[in-house]
Amino acid sequence: MTALIELDGITKVLKGQEQPRTILDGVGLTVNAGQSVAIVGRSGSGKSTLLSVIGLFDRPDSGSYRLDGQEIAKLPERRAAKLRSSHFGFVFQRFFLLKHLTAAQNVAMALVNGQGWLPRRQRRSLVMEALDQVGIAHLAKSRPAKMSGGEQQRVAIARALVRDPKILLADEPTGALDIETGTLVIDALLAATERGCGLILVTHDRDHAARMGQIHDLVDGVLTERVTVR
């Protein structure tokens, strides 16, 4: 089986200011279809930088990055942008929903950017399927102001899922939520892995991390897999 994501010796150095600083230091990581990975580490340890590199918003300075078996560490930006939209769904701590649009309209926005307008019926069925996958189909016509934080985050997850990504990248998606609604958000992310999606979750929450198939600690840019006894 080809790994979805295979990082090997990924290094990212920040130049500028005074001295160059190594933000990612020889990171290796393999994620297969349907696998879930937690990345845990202190603030400033490089977690968001790592997700940016994986999600092709940023490039490594050295190392190898194979996506679906293809080496892409040095891909030109136009091709990287294509892979970014065809392969990845992003979820952030802030939901970034448009206030004046309903849940369904917010999710539909993801279809506009990527592929132009699909026929209305097809669009509607994809949107409703994505909302259903995160358990909030009944909120399709609600606006964000009427929803809880956890519901708003699930709209954001539906928006990431509607384009059928191969990998979800979630950067502290429960950071602004209480424990109970946070758990529902993690449920929605894990449900996607059951349909074959890969998941990389950055989190401070031990309980959420413990639900992932692998846990990796990032300390000063060095990533180490935690060996868990189950």
Ligand X SMILES: Nc1ncnc2c1ncn2[C@@H]1O[C@H](COP(=O)(O)OP(=O)(O)O)[C@@H](O)[C@H]1O
Q: Interface residues with ligand X (CB under 6 A)?
A: 14, 23, 41, 43-49
Nearer to Mg ion, 47 or 216 (CB): 47
Residue 198 binds which of ligand X, Mg ion, none (CB < 5-8 A, kind-dependent): none
DSSP assignment of 156-210: HHHHHHTT--SEEEEESTTTTS-HHHHHHHHHHHHHHHHTT-EEEEE-S-HHHHH
Please, are residues 46 and 24 in contact by the beta-carbon 8 Å criterion?
A: yes
Nearer to Mg ion, 48 or 203 (CB): 48
From the CB of 47, what's the least distance to Mg ion, in Å? 5
Strands 167-171 and 198-202, bridge-based pairing:
parallel
From the CB of 171, what's the least distance to ligand X, in Å? 7
From the CB of 9, what's the least distance to ligand X, in Å? 18
Residue 45 binds which of ligand X, Mg ion, none (CB < 5-8 A, kind-dependent): ligand X
From the CB of 94, what's the least distance to ligand X, in Å? 14
DSSP assignment of 56-78: TSS--SEEEEEETTEE-TT--HH
Site for Mg ion in 116-145 (CB under 5 A): none
Nearer to ligand X, 103 or 201 (CB): 201
Residue 49 binds which of ligand X, Mg ion, none (CB < 5-8 A, kind-dependent): ligand X
Q: What's the sign of the alpha-carbon dihedral 130, 135, 137, 141? A: negative
From the CB of 212, what's the least distance to ligand X, in Å? 17
CA 139 from centre of chain: 23
CB-count exposure of residue 206 (10 Å: 0-12, 13-18, 19+): exposed
Neighbours of 49 (CB within 10 A): 20
Residue 102 binds which of Mg ion, ligand X, none (CB < 5-8 A, kind-dependent): none
Q: Residues 13-52 vs Mg ion: string with x where CB under 5 A?
A: ----------------------------------xx----
From the CB of 24, what's the least distance to ligand X, in Å? 8
Kindly state the tokens that stand for 65.
Answer: 């990055």
d(CA 1, CA 86): 20
Given the rule CB under 5 A, which residues bind Mg ion? 47-48
